[in-house]
Structure 1
Amino acid sequence: MSPASGSEGPPVSSLSAAEHVWRVFGHVRLENLAAGLAGGVVSTLVLHPLDLVKIRFAVSDGLQLRPKYNGMMHCIRSVWRQEGVRGLYQGVTPNVWGAGASWGLYFLFYNAIKAYTKEGRQTELSATEHLVSAAEAGILTLTITNPIWVTKTRLVLQYSSDPTSKQYKGMFDALIKIYRHEGVAGLYRGYVPGLFGTSHGALQFMAYEELKRDYNKYKKMAPDEKLNPLEYITLAALSKIFAVATTYPYQVVRARLQDQHNKYRGVMDVIARTWRNEGAPGFYKGIIPNVIRVTPACCITFVVYENMSRFLLGPSK
């Protein structure tokens, strides 16, 4: 997180790590946190059932205790028939907490790092600078929120066909039990592939920023000019599909590491066993429900964020 040369204040080389961090946090705007949180919560509440389907397909490695699904709609119908709406929203609490916190913190850190990088400059950030800013924001966000994602995965993978696996009563019960039986390491299962997953957010935000800037340039508008909802939706969808297609396998690896029904020795063990038993398609299990879920989720999040942040921060955000 280094500001451009020529920025105001002491030279970069004379600043300690703590001073760098302090200057970044000087650009923090809580309005970005609120706008990102709102977008994440709204999209999660609308689309959680598709997230449940995606995770169940991602871990479908042939274990007998798992229900067998012939496709996305068969999975949704089966869960509905056996458990009703409650079943389709299994794990929604940590998902709402996680998505709200993740989007809120991501936009908070991303905009602060962008503002810090742009200190004293009149030019726009480059694609590489957008990529690095988004990656740094992703690492900070993941470090704070990983325990929430572990509990979500554990709750989503409690199958009605295996009553003995219903060991967690809810999000906080899961957090306590995971910590008690597995320690801090249990709460950070999947963290390493999650770090690789920050490339997903980085690629998405880089693509979104570049598409938005090029579109505004094409329309002969200012770089930060407000767009209409359909334009935001189109740009968000294109950037999300690009990021998903590029980085999806890490999500399969992370979900399998976090799954309570199978034991792996680490990331390389997951990769080796998945490749040996299922080949390349194994790394893309669940990608169709994932694309169907994350594309509208991303569109909802960005439309809510862009409009709410514009409302909270004014036109000069």
Structure 2
Amino acid sequence: MTGGDRQSALVNADSFWFTYTLSSIAAIIAETVTYPLDLTKTRLQIQGETHVGGLIVAGQKRGMVKTIVGIGSEEGAIKLFQGLTPALYRHLLYTGCRISFYEIIRDKVLKKNSDGSFPVWKSSLGGLTAGAMGQFIASPTDLVKVQMQMEGRRRLEGKAPRVKSTAQAFRKIITEEGVRGLYRGVVPNVQRAALINMGDLATYDTVKQGVLQYTSLTDNWVTHTISGTCSGLSMAILGTPADVIKTRIMNQPTENGRGKLYAGSMDCLVKTVNQEGFLALYKGFLPIWGRLGPWSLIFWISFEQIRKLCGVSSF
């Protein structure tokens, strides 16, 4: 790459759309590879919803391995990717926005220290803010994804199909509940995203700085692997309780635009803990971690390598 081309790339790297495009590509790669585990954790999180609001929510209780094997054998292996389309739409909005917003917050709002470091409190605040903003924009696609993920289970239980495609799901929600219905579960969804991004972005940035400062490793794929692995574990620990609540609120049946099972995220939290115990908030933790770990690893390595191929500095 010539000096002029490199200078042009560096200028483009400062733009919102440059970061948005590269992070979206990396997210699509990570999402596609790890999607079956996301479907599995959604199924696990719905298990145990019984006698809530006068309704009985049926469902055979299974562990992670039996759930994923059961989906493949009972519904067909292709069903392990049911809901992938809205999931990819979601990341085109969510990850593209959250990474771009974080970079703007880090470099132009909170700003790095004069030595190039970025304190943990700043990276945590930046991650919380960027995650909340990105998820608010993408929340409707998350709602459709959750509903599509549950269709195979519903049909095996003898229930009528609820959604048939991504477009039909959007039309159905708007027709029955209005545009406001697209944002059902937005509060726990935003809470979850804020926590997960605090864990992801703050951990990745902090671990990467520490590795480069205190070890002989350089800014290469080994450093990115270490940082991405740590961020994946942090994401799972911080985000699982909010993810369980988000999933249950989004999956619940509605009447006149109101949920039949839970009045809101706090009501869902209280009922879940009272009826199933505190550990119910960590249902699906293993597949969440089993997915977020590889997801984070694949995303960050892909993102950093794509940036390198474009001739710009690492994240």
TM-score range, shorter chain: 0.7 to 0.9
Name the counterpart of 2:80. Answer: 88
Shift of the 314–265 alpha-carbon distance from structure 1 to 2, 3 Å rule, reads same
Q: For residue 51 of structure 1, report the CA deviation from its aligned partner.
A: 0.6
Among all aligned residue pairs of Structure 1 and Structure 2, give the percentage whose two residues are the same amino acid.
22
Is the partner of 1:181 in helix, strand or coil?
helix
Conserved 8 A contact 2:72-2:79: yes
The partner residue of 1:178 within 156, 173, 178 is 173
Shift of the 314–71 alpha-carbon distance from structure 1 to 2, 3 Å rule, reads same
Name the counterpart of 2:125. Answer: 132
Name the counterpart of 2:211. Answer: 215
Alignment of 1:160-171 (within 5 A): 160-171=155-166
Name the counterpart of 2:262. Answer: 264
Query: Does 2:146 align with 1:153?
Result: yes
- Partner Cα separation in structure 2 for residue 167 and residue 120 of structure 1: 49
Conserved 8 A contact 1:154-1:260: no
Query: Does 2:193 align with 1:201?
Result: no
Counterpart of 2:89, as a letter, is W
Q: Deviations over 1:78-125 (max 9, x none)?
A: 211222122111111111111233222211111122121266963332
Q: Give unmatched runs, 5+ long, in structure 1.
A: 1-25
Shift of the 130–82 alpha-carbon distance from structure 1 to 2, 3 Å rule, reads same
Deviates more, 1:123-132 or 1:300-309: 123-132
Name the counterpart of 2:90. Answer: 98
The partner residue of 2:33 within 46, 65, 70 is 46
Q: For residue 27 of structure 1, report the CA deviation from its aligned partner.
A: 5.2
Conserved 8 A contact 2:39-2:80: yes
- Partner Cα separation in structure 2 for residue 62 and residue 305 of structure 1: 38
How many corresponding residue pairs?
288
Counterpart of 2:150, as a letter, is L
Normalized against structure 1, the TM-score is what?
0.84
Q: For residue 316 of structure 1, report the CA deviation from its aligned partner.
A: 6.8
Name the counterpart of 2:246. Answer: 254
The root-mean-square deviation of aligned C-alpha atoms, in Å, is 2.2
The partner residue of 1:59 within 40, 43, 46 is 46
Q: For residue 65 of structure 1, report the CA deviation from its aligned partner.
A: 5.7
Query: Does 2:24 align with 1:29?
Result: no
